[in-house]
Amino acid sequence: MVPRLKTALTGPLQDLERRILERMPDIERWFRAKWHEHEVPFYASVDLRNAGFKLAPVDTNLFPGGFNNLNPAFLPLCVQAVQTAVERICPDARGVMLVPENHTRNVHYLSNVATLENVLKQAGMNVRIGSLIPDLAGPTRVEASNGASLLLEPIVRHGRRVGVEGFDPCMVLMNNDLSGGPPAILQGIDQPVAPPLAAGWYNRLKSHHFEVYHTVAQEFAELVGIDPWLVDPYFGVCGEINFQERAGEECLASNVDWLLGRIRAKYAEYGIDEKPFVIVKADAGTYGMGIMTVHDTAEVQGLNRKQRNKMAVVKEGLEVTSVIIQEGVPTFEAIDDAIAEPVVYMIDRFVVGGFYRVHAERGRDENLNAPGAQFVPLAFESPCLPDLAGPTGCAPNRFYAYGVIARVAQLAAAIEIGELEARSGTPAAAPSPVVA
Amino acid sequence: MVPRLKTALTGPLQDLERRILERMPDIERWFRAKWHEHEVPFYASVDLRNAGFKLAPVDTNLFPGGFNNLNPAFLPLCVQAVQTAVERICPDARGVMLVPENHTRNVHYLSNVATLENVLKQAGMNVRIGSLIPDLAGPTRVEASNGASLLLEPIVRHGRRVGVEGFDPCMVLMNNDLSGGPPAILQGIDQPVAPPLAAGWYNRLKSHHFEVYHTVAQEFAELVGIDPWLVDPYFGVCGEINFQERAGEECLASNVDWLLGRIRAKYAEYGIDEKPFVIVKADAGTYGMGIMTVHDTAEVQGLNRKQRNKMAVVKEGLEVTSVIIQEGVPTFEAIDDAIAEPVVYMIDRFVVGGFYRVHAERGRDENLNAPGAQFVPLAFESPCLPDLAGPTGCAPNRFYAYGVIARVAQLAAAIEIGELEARSGTPAAAPSPVVA
């Protein structure tokens, strides 16, 4: 379910938002049934773009790193949801080992870890932070930007159990996206790991996620009675890219061309006066590196050295060998003239809050997950009674639609994780180039 | 779990509060295990008294009537918890029939119903209000004090299913405390009824609740390492009272005498400089009618006509035939010089908020649930990191202890309901007079 949250927009509900709001009981029932079939991820964050005519996820993160950007008023929701999540994974739990990213110099990220630690503690857990930093000599205290102090401890393993010195946790909660692969010390252990190691970025492909999302979105669209395209961005994949060696440029150009054509046709069908564009990004990896906006096929032909360097590498120096070419969804939300996109946070099957990622120097057709982005926590909307049949002046609950689409993406991620686990830890094969 | 809430008190944590806060992981684990053994009530509210040295429930309501007194900021917590509750009872649910009290002239109570309806709707349910008003001709619109409008509809029954015209709900949610007995139209139906009819006040006895609470509190006290008396009020019962005919006065006097003596001994043991008192109230029923504060056995001997009339009848004209004599717990909380007692609200196994019941004209040893009481919604406390090891200036989370004791009472209610249901609808027998 989705708490009533304030959005950047104040205008009347768009047709899509209204349809989703009207079908609320059916949608919630659909989700309940789905969560009986698929194990819900421990947590997730979904980046959305709302173009007014279209509302779609553009990225689904299974190791959310922005809990510190949530409004503190949301923490009780987080705590309540964490209790449900822990109850499911480890009903006898008292101890959770939280495994964060290794970059201890990012003090904002450390604030995220501190917030998460606090949520777990308030949910009644004993929490220790187990670090994967290879040369961590012993317990090490680091300071976060929010004033919190974190104690990072080396992970120790005894047989098939892991923990930190003097602490045998019931479960391991990963907040490390495993771009570098599954750590040996966490493999083959008895304790449950959430999200599972198979969900790490070393193993995930955005194209796989959106392939699953495509299927789930079809079913959702049928339920709500809409054209699936309204919630599902077209995409294609080029699996054998080497930017430095200019390999795969033809595949890239033909996909861009094909996608721009399909988007143009849809825009014509709906009378949308926008210039179609696509986003090219690394198929594996995160952190908004290696991303470009393309309006014309010529832009991906004959990339110069600087452009190629930018696209060639993502986090932890991983080389980009596969890219996803995704329909661009322009955002029509702005806060104080700066372009904004909502990021929705979920724990277990609950929307627990979110924030706007705002970038003053980026356009409405650009990736906002880039240096210079700022975060505006979402606030609760003052409720007014009665809900849907409210008097004039009762703000429409636009955010409900955001929470729904974010959960459709979360459901896709759940199915995706199931498939990755079934492949038992081997990296996911790239799907066929053109899927949508 | 308990959201961080502001309390009326600002002083340092009392020893009891601190012990409870320190044992948080063990306590939460204990509750998780208990909710595997006993079905958690759909919702409950618990009136608490905090004497500083002692923190205890004084009433547990299974049909809470003050959702309108919760801070609107808590509604998302309520919505999230309702989803869990509905999921448990009726996973395929889209439709809930809410059955309120019949008194439509209490516009504040109608605000409670409207708030509950809104929470259910926001949780994705279709909600209709089925009324037990005997002569309700057809759908009738009534206005609540908060501006909401409610449509009361006559309950219709087809075979073993109930609903309202054109609506076949998946479950029936009772917000009617059934002081008048289980309505025939709701008996023997196929749909789940929550809380069950057996939990109605026609069938509950406060003494039975506190008898179960006594057992649960023993176990809890052992877990936390405290004297059970610190969370458990002594009580006795007189089962054959007739105030009008002065029957049972001796039993009352001897119980009062016995309890005052026991309290005096405990006060001496802990060096507490308070005047012991007991509360005499109807063993069945609610709404704070028929309650008196007694400091001396002589006060219950030779009651005058006015006092006897006041004690003789509770809600819906029910005659008082049994009373519980309970150790009085003085409240040491006050808001603006008015005596205050916390009321904690739970949905499913989650604390979702609460408020202070405040009465400017009552003393700290008196019942506050009386005409003239006002309600001060609890606010979230601004969280500070880290939690327990916080720097000076970080407010102690005193409310956590309140949420724990309220949940111990809720657990007792769960066991109590199970026992009432096992007796399959026959009224609970009064336990032996002296139990504590």
CB proximity list for B254: less than 8 A, separation 6 or greater: none
In chain A, which residue's Cα lies nearest the Cα of B96? A25
CB proximity list for A381: less than 8 A, separation 6 or greater: A4, A5, A6, A395, A397, A399
- CB neighbour class for B226 (10 Å; exposed up to 12, middle 13-18, buried from 19): middle
Task: Say if residue B191's pLDDT is above 90.
Answer: yes
- Inspect the interface and report whether the beta carbons of B84 and A83 lie closer than 8 Å: no
B77-110 per-residue burial string, b: 16 or more CB within 10 A, e: under 16: bbbbbbbbbbbebbeebbbbbbbbbbebeeeebb
In chain B, which residue's Cα lies nearest the Cα of A145? B385
Dist CA A207 CA A255 (whole Å): 13
Question: Using omega within 30 degrees of 0 as the cis cutoff, is the peptide bond preceding A386 cis?
Answer: yes
Bridge partners, residue B354, by sequence: B344
List the single residue in B26, B72, B80 with the smallest CB-CB distance to A350: B80
Chain A residues with CB under 8 Å of B72 CB are: 380, 382-383
State phi, psi for B338 to the nearest 5 degrees: -95, 135
Token pair, residue A309, equals: 């360097």
pLDDT, tens digit, for every residue of B205-257? 999 999 999 999 999 999 999 999 999 999 999 987 777 777 778 888 999 99
- CB neighbour class for A264 (10 Å; exposed up to 12, middle 13-18, buried from 19): middle
What pLDDT was estimated at residue A175?
98
- CB neighbour class for B138 (10 Å; exposed up to 12, middle 13-18, buried from 19): exposed
Hey, is the C-beta of B119 within 8 angstroms of any chain A C-beta?
no
Q: Which among B47, B46, B61, B34 is positioned nearest to B223, based on CA atoms?
A: B34
Dist CA A436 CA A263 (whole Å): 12
In chain B, which residue's Cα lies nearest the Cα of A87? B32
pLDDT tens, per residue, chain A with 436 residues: 566 667 766 666 688 888 898 898 899 999 999 999 999 999 999 999 999 889 999 999 999 999 999 988 888 889 999 999 988 888 777 899 999 999 888 999 999 999 999 999 988 899 999 999 999 999 999 999 988 999 999 999 999 999 999 999 999 999 999 988 999 999 999 999 999 999 998 899 999 999 999 999 999 999 999 999 999 999 999 987 777 777 778 888 999 999 999 999 999 999 999 999 999 988 886 655 568 899 999 888 877 777 777 777 666 666 777 889 999 999 888 787 788 889 999 999 999 988 999 888 888 888 888 778 888 887 766 555 434 544 444 566 778 899 999 999 999 999 999 999 998 654 433 333 343 3
DSSP A418: H
Comparison of pLDDT for B1 and A404, the residue scoring more: A404
Task: Report yes or no: B348 and B90 within 8 Å, Cβ to Cβ.
Answer: no
Task: Give the A window 146-185 contacts with B, CB below 8 Å.
Answer: 146-149
Q: State the complex-level ipTM.
A: 0.74
In chain A, helix, strand, coil percent, each to 5? 35, 25, 40
What pLDDT was estimated at residue B391?
43
Q: How many contacts, defined by CB atoms under 8 Å, are there between A and B?
A: 135
Q: What is the mean pLDDT of chain B?
A: 86
Residues in chain B, total: 436
pLDDT, tens digit, for every residue of B404-417? 999 999 999 999 99
What pLDDT was estimated at residue B169?
96
A155-189 per-residue burial string, b: 16 or more CB within 10 A, e: under 16: beeeeeebbbeebebbbbbbbbbbbbebbeebeeb
Task: Suggest the residue from B20, B36, B84 to mutate for an interface test with chain A (most A CBs closer than 10 A).
Answer: B84
Comparison of pLDDT for B156 and A287, the residue scoring more: B156
Task: Report yes or no: B150 and B141 within 8 Å, Cβ to Cβ.
Answer: yes
pLDDT, tens digit, for every residue of B20-35? 988 988 999 999 999 9
Dist CA A205 CA A59 (whole Å): 11
**Sign of the CA dihedral running B169, B171, B172, B173:** negative
Chain A residues with CB under 8 Å of B73 CB are: 73, 380
Chain B residues with CB under 8 Å of A118 CB are: 383, 385-387
Our CA dihedral for A27, A28, A34, A39, rounded to 10 degrees, sits at: 140
Identify the helix (H) or strand (E) that includes residue A215.
Answer: helix A206-224
Q: Which long-range contacts (CB under 8 A, 24 or more apart) does A148-152 make?
A: A148/A110, A148/A111, A148/A114, A148/A115, A148/A118, A148/B385, A148/B386, A149/A114, A149/B386, A150/A110, A150/A113, A150/A114, A150/A117, A152/A100, A152/A104
Chain A: give the shortest CA distance to residue B323, in Å: 38
- Inspect the interface and report whether the beta carbons of B148 and A4 lie closer than 8 Å: no
Chain B residues with CB under 8 Å of A3 CB are: 75-76, 79-80
Hey, is the C-beta of B87 within 8 angstroms of any chain A C-beta?
yes
Chain A residues with CB under 8 Å of B383 CB are: 72, 75, 118
B233-251 per-residue burial string, b: 16 or more CB within 10 A, e: under 16: bbbbbbbebebeeeebbeb
Dist CA B29 CA B102 (whole Å): 40
Task: Report yes or no: B385 and B8 within 8 Å, Cβ to Cβ.
Answer: no
What pLDDT was estimated at residue A65?
95
Question: Using omega within 30 degrees of 0 as the cis cutoff, is the peptide bond preceding B233 cis?
Answer: no
Bridge partners, residue A125, by sequence: none
What pLDDT was estimated at residue A288?
52
Task: Report yes or no: B117 and B98 within 8 Å, Cβ to Cβ.
Answer: yes
Rounded to 5 degrees, what angle do the CA atoms B243, B249, B253 make?
135
Task: Report yes or no: B31 and B349 within 8 Å, Cβ to Cβ.
Answer: yes
Dist CA A343 CA A402 (whole Å): 9
Chain B residues with CB under 8 Å of A87 CB are: 32
- Inspect the interface and report whether the beta carbons of A79 and B3 lie closer than 8 Å: yes
Chain B residues with CB under 8 Å of A121 CB are: 24, 386-388
Give B426's pLDDT tier (boundaries 50, 70, 90).
very low
User: Could you give the angle at which helices B75-89 and A75-89 cross, rounded to 10 degrees?
Assistant: 20
Count of other CB atoms within 10 angstroms of residue B292: 17
Q: Which among B339, B317, B318 is positioned nearest to B330, based on CA atoms?
A: B339
Hey, is the C-beta of A223 within 8 angstroms of any chain B C-beta?
no
Task: Report yes or no: A243 and A306 within 8 Å, Cβ to Cβ.
Answer: no
Chain B residues with CB under 8 Å of A125 CB are: 25, 28
Task: Report yes or no: A355 and A69 within 8 Å, Cβ to Cβ.
Answer: yes
Give B339's pLDDT tier (boundaries 50, 70, 90).
confident
Task: Report yes or no: A255 and A279 within 8 Å, Cβ to Cβ.
Answer: no
What pLDDT was estimated at residue B103?
86
What pLDDT was estimated at residue B392?
42
**Sign of the CA dihedral running A279, A285, A288, A289:** negative
Chain A: give the shortest CA distance to residue B382, in Å: 7
- Inspect the interface and report whether the beta carbons of A122 and B386 lie closer than 8 Å: no
Comparison of pLDDT for B216 and B300, the residue scoring more: B216
B179-196 per-residue burial string, b: 16 or more CB within 10 A, e: under 16: bbebbeebeebebbbbbb
What pLDDT was estimated at residue B186?
97
Token pair, residue B207, equals: 């003494």
Token pair, residue B324, equals: 């519980």
What is the arithmetic mean of pLDDT over B390-411? 78
